[in-house]
Every structure is written in structure tokens, then in C-alpha cells.
Amino acid sequence: MAGLTAARRLATAGHGVTVVDKGRHPGGRMATADLAGGARADHGAQFVTVRSAELSADLGGWMSDGTVHEWCRGFGTDDGHPRYAAGGGMRHLAAALASGLDVRQSVHVDAVTRSGGGWAVSWPEGHGAPAGRLEADAVVVTCPVPQSAALLGDAAEVPALAYDATLSLVVALDGPSSVPAPGGVQPTGDPVWSWVGENAAKGVSAGPAVTLHTTAALAAERWDDDDGPLGVELLAAAAPWLGGAGAVDVRLHRWRFATPVAPHPDRCVEVAPGAVLAGDAFGGPRVEGAYLSGLAAADRVAGRG
């Protein structure tokens, strides 16, 4: 969200922009899995909340063209704050943001270095893409901060910010789940799960498909466990939410940098002349935090003259 938002704002202002992304689809943690039987499940960010005037303005357009829709106003009780879901999954909101931009997928950047008065972004051959290098006047780096630090190396001093990890289990079912209306639960005091969502109820999946996120504590404790036995154990722990239905597809995804522990107070940080860091670790978490950080990063770059 941060990178695509920054890119759109800069491109709209007339700047030449290229987005490089290691994923096969744009979106990062705005990720959606295609499952057996035509089911789909958001396995990263689950929905969008809006409190800022800036995101509210864009949201109106996304709603009018059908990219997003209001899902609910709370889980268990109506708290008055709409949660917006993307039809077809959060990945499709990212695809809408990427439309019209020069976005290069499956590019695993391994270095961001100074080049003359600007910056160079380079990557080796692999993952279906040839080796390459781009040069630019400025660079906005929006991957999690520890990864940004590794890419920039000695070229910039990057703030040390920590993240909690999450293990995400998605399960396509052959019958209805037991997730109550409106299709989302944020358990309190549960030693395993911090989130349970039903993607069909959210308007994402054609059939029952449940997403479960572990607590940060469990993810930290079990991070190094093998996928096979860990997946079996987590599926058993998910049983109370599956309504007795059979699992027709099960996926386990690891988000090492799922949630910033203590976001940086600024919406973006220029760590060296022309090198700006952005993302949900700057100024505030969640999708909206990443969006606002992307806007701030674009304005910082454009304001350099």
C-alpha cells in the first residue's frame, strides 16, 4: 500500500516512476490466496478502516467503481467504524492501485546504492526475471525496515524498528464454518488465535474459506518449526471455527514482519538525500497508516526540487 500509493501520487504529479516488487502480484501484505474449488482467502491484511480525510477521498472512488465495499461496523458489536473489504480479496485492491503504473513483478532487489547524485536499484538473475539495474534521482523503500536496512547497507543510517510476526492459516471448506456473523472475530485471551475471518461472509470467496492469524507470542515460539507438523497442529486448533466441515485446501503462510511494535513518529524518514523510507512502521500501523506514509514519502521526494 505504501509503495503503490507513493508511486501513484508521484506519477500523477508528472514524475517518471518505476515500482519493483519481489512478489508475483502487487500488494505485499495485501495478499490473497487462490484455493481449491474456487475459494479465496485474504491471508495478510484483512480489511481497511478509514479515519483520515486523505484516504476517505480515495475510498469514495474505490467504492463507486466496485473495488471495495463496506463489510461491517464491528465484530460482535457495532462500534460505528466501517470495515471495508475488497471484492475478490485485498490483492485486487492492490492491483487497482497498480493499474497504469510501470510495475515489475518477481524482481528480488538485493541492493540500493548511491549512484552519482542519485540512486541505483539492482537485482540478480532469478525468480523468472533477468538481472537488472535501475537508476533514479530518488528512491522510496517500503519493505519492512530490517529488510530496508539490509538493502541500503552503508549507504544510509536506518532507524531500528521491531515487528511482531504472525502465522497465517487459511482453510477452504466443503461446508459452512462456525465463524459468527458478520464473519470476523478478534479473540481476547486466546493463546493461539488473534484473528478469525470467514472470507465468504466478507464477500471475497465463492465458497467457505477461513483465515486464522496466530498471536505474536505463538508465532515467535513456533517460528522455526517445520511447516508440515506445525500446519497439522494449527489445523487442529482451528477446529472450533470450522463448523465440522472438511478441509479441502490448507495453506500456512509466515509473516515475519506482520505488525510494527512501536511505529516511528514520522510518516516517512529521509535516511539519506533522496532515499526515503515508508510503510506501516511510520506514523501508524494498518493499511491506512501505510497509505498515509506513502503520501508523505511522495511529497518528500517531490519537494526535493
Cell of 217: 507470542
Candidates 94, 87, 65; CA nearest to 7 is: 94
Distances 254 to 165, 167, 170, 291, 300 between C-alpha atoms, Å:
8, 5, 11, 23, 32
Burial of 120 (0-12, 13-18, 19+ CB in 10 A): middle
Q: Please report, in tens digits, the pLDDT of each residue of the chain (305 residues total).
A: 999 999 999 999 999 999 999 999 999 999 999 999 999 999 999 999 999 999 999 999 999 999 999 999 999 899 999 999 999 999 999 999 999 999 999 999 999 999 999 999 999 998 777 899 999 999 999 999 999 999 999 999 999 999 999 999 999 999 999 999 999 999 999 999 999 999 999 999 999 999 999 999 999 999 999 999 999 999 999 999 999 999 999 999 999 999 999 999 999 999 999 999 999 999 999 999 999 999 999 999 998 75
By C-alpha distance, which of 98, 97, 120, 95 is closest to 109? 120
Cell of 295: 503520501
Output the pTM of the full model: 0.95
Helix 2-12 crosses helix 286-302 at what angle (to 10 degrees)? 40
Cα angle, residue 269 at apex, residues 53 and 158 outer, rounded to 5°: 145
CB 266 within 8 A of CB 192: no
In whole angstroms, give the CA distance from residue 112 to residue 119: 7
The reported pLDDT for the residue numbered 129 is 76
- Dump strand ranges (E) for 73-192: 83-86, 102-104, 111-115, 118-123, 132-136, 139-141, 163-173, 184-185
Helix/strand/coil for 140: strand
How far is Cα 90 from Cα 175, in angstroms, rounded to an integer? 23
Q: Is 34 helix (H, G, I), strand (E, B) or coil?
A: strand
* Structure confidence at residue 305 (pLDDT): 53
Residues sharing a CB contact under 8 Å with residue 130, sequence separation 6 or more, in sequence order: none
User: What structural domains does the chain harbor?
Assistant: 2-31+53-162+262-302 (3.50.50.60), 165-260 (3.90.660.10)
Which pLDDT value is given to residue 241?
98
Predicted local distance difference test score (pLDDT) of residue 127: 78
Report whether the peptide linkage leading into residue 240 is cis, meaning its omega lies within 30 degrees of zero.
Answer: no
CA-CA distance, 98 to 153, in Å (whole number)? 28
